Chains A and B, each alone.
Chain A
């Protein structure tokens, strides 16, 4: 269960960190880590990389906390740092991985277009998605886990299942489509329930 972010508390933690109480920064990490990881996950496909990038973001924020102006939006400030880290990651990947360039460029272009000043609902989306994952049939859940958590290649999954890679890719696409339908409905329902 994540803590609710209270602006008053947040400002107090920031002020204390700026005054040298480094333990106050722990609370800021607690308050923002899940939301920031959710934000990064929309552009970065591997959990390990998301984890590293978000940790880098907090390290940088801690180091430069004195530059942050109290009463400004701390979440937005963190998202700005995080976005720069992600852009750097895309640039590095483009140099290294054959074929990834075009995907990296596309994700990078979208990231640059994204308005980080708007309220970020990535965490709500992921929580809705989590509920939908729980509803999957166990065989489908296993496929999704193998691909997105274990990061198995489609080729390896196909070899394990005795199928060809295209069949596995298409099966994954259909499971994703079901997940998308489920989570979008949940997001709509949540929005409609809001006063």
Chain B
């Protein structure tokens, strides 16, 4: 598409694309939002070109993504299991028990639970599926199966509703590790995160995790974070590297705090911000909303708003 010079909107392609990039990054002035709006609402050739550029950007991102079929499926199954882990599991238990109670119906298959079957990629991994209700000689085995099923469901409920879990891994590239009690495990989408866990992201890696309150944290390459939970709330300790945080906005006492050696950052309103820590400084940049930055050494606090960034160095909170 030949688009030389300025379009009807009075913007060159270069000017238009700078505005689009700034807009995507949330780093755009009101005047530039107005210019971009005018361009895009014109629906002229240049506006369509911008749309094509956005489409290509999305496709490039996807072409760079290395998530393969198995990883995607694993993430899906874990998410399905997590979503089914509360009410659905209770429903399934109730339903199964009702079905088993209705044992007058001959040759009725006793299923051990869809969610568990899905987790392991088979309809059912337990022996009781093989049993048929209605054969008096096998009734005891079936009752034993029911007890085992109930125990398994209660176990899963206890695990998934553990009061100490503070979040989960949403996605993780290969090489991301979760450290717990001195041992390390590969991070898998859907894994529960507990207080004290560390998430280590290698070079060219990335992980996304979410807290129970909906706060979403992207942990970028060469970053290590530790999840700390205390009576006063959740803290994400960032030694070095970069995280970006999207929070729906929580009351002050519940807001997740990102803590580095130079600053503690939190937001109580719907916000998006990034924190980059090095041994000598911490940079905070706010894309949406506002954050409060406080110094660990002094009582000083400051508020940073959308479009602003700041660098804090040692003892200069």
- Same complex origin of A and B: yes
Residues on A close to B: CB < 8 A? 2-3, 20-23, 25-26, 29-30, 33-34, 37-38, 41-48, 50-52, 54-55, 58-59, 62, 96-100, 102-103, 105-107, 110, 122, 125-127, 129-130, 133, 144-145, 148-151, 153-156, 165-166, 169-170, 172-173, 176, 179-180
- Bound-state Cα–Cα, A156 to B17, Å: 17
Complex Cα–Cα for A195 and B221 (A): 46
A42 near B18 with CB under 8 A, answer: no
CA distance A12 to B187 in the complex (A): 34
Partner of B61, one of A25, A26, A41: A41
The reply on B72 being an interface residue by CB < 8 A is: yes
Contact B208 A48 (CB under 8 A): yes
Q: Give bound CA distance, A173 to B262, whole Å.
A: 37
Q: Are A26 and B21 also in contact (CB < 8 A) when A97-B26, A97-B288 are?
A: no
B95 to chain A minimum Cβ distance, whole angstroms, is: 12
Question: By the criterion CB–CB under 8 Å, are A100 and B23 in contact?
Answer: yes
A46 surroundings in chain B (CB, below 8 A) = 61
Binding site for A on B (CB under 8 A): 13-14, 17-18, 20-28, 32-33, 36-37, 40-41, 47, 50-51, 53-65, 67, 69, 72-73, 75-77, 79-80, 83, 111, 114-115, 117-118, 121-123, 170-171, 204, 206, 208, 218, 220-221, 270, 272, 285, 287-288, 306
Q: Which A residues are CB-close (under 8 A) to B13?
A: 173
Contact A48 B218 (CB under 8 A): yes
- Contact call B69/A103, Cβ cutoff below 8 A: no
A79 CA to B162 CA, complexed, in Å? 36
Look across to chain A and name the residue whose beta carbon is closest to the beta carbon of B25.
A153
Query: Given known contacts A150-B220, A176-B60, is B33 in contact with A48 (CB within 8 Å)?
Result: no
